[in-house]
Amino acid sequence: MIYYQQGLGDKEVAERTNTTVKMAHVTGEAVKDVANQMTSIWNNFSTGIDDLERYSDVITKLGATTASSSKEIAKGLN
């Protein structure tokens, strides 16, 4: 997965992968696409793994509330 390519350790990769897979499952998007979206968001806004989980929750909820996709929201944030 993309997270190992970023030079992250096993624990960080496992945490990010878990969050990514959950978001992909909820949104119906491909894991690879969600990983790329979350990496972009992570690189621009994050200060820790808890933020990644929170961003995932917010983007998923925002997408459901506004009939947008998480892909559209992530693109808007980048």
The model's pLDDT over 14-72, given as tens digits with 9 standing for 90+, comes to 989 998 999 899 889 999 999 988 888 877 776 666 677 787 888 888 888 888 888 78
Range of the domain at 24: 2-77
pLDDT for the residue numbered 47: 62
Whole-model pTM over 0.75: no
Determine the pLDDT at residue 60: 83
Report whether pLDDT(77) > 80.
no
3-state SS of the chain: helix, strand, coil percent to 5? 80, 0, 20
Number of domains in the chain: 1
CB 2 within 8 A of CB 36: yes
Which CB contacts under 8 angstroms, 24+ apart, belong to 15-19?
15/49, 15/52, 16/42, 16/49, 16/52, 19/49, 19/52, 19/53, 19/56
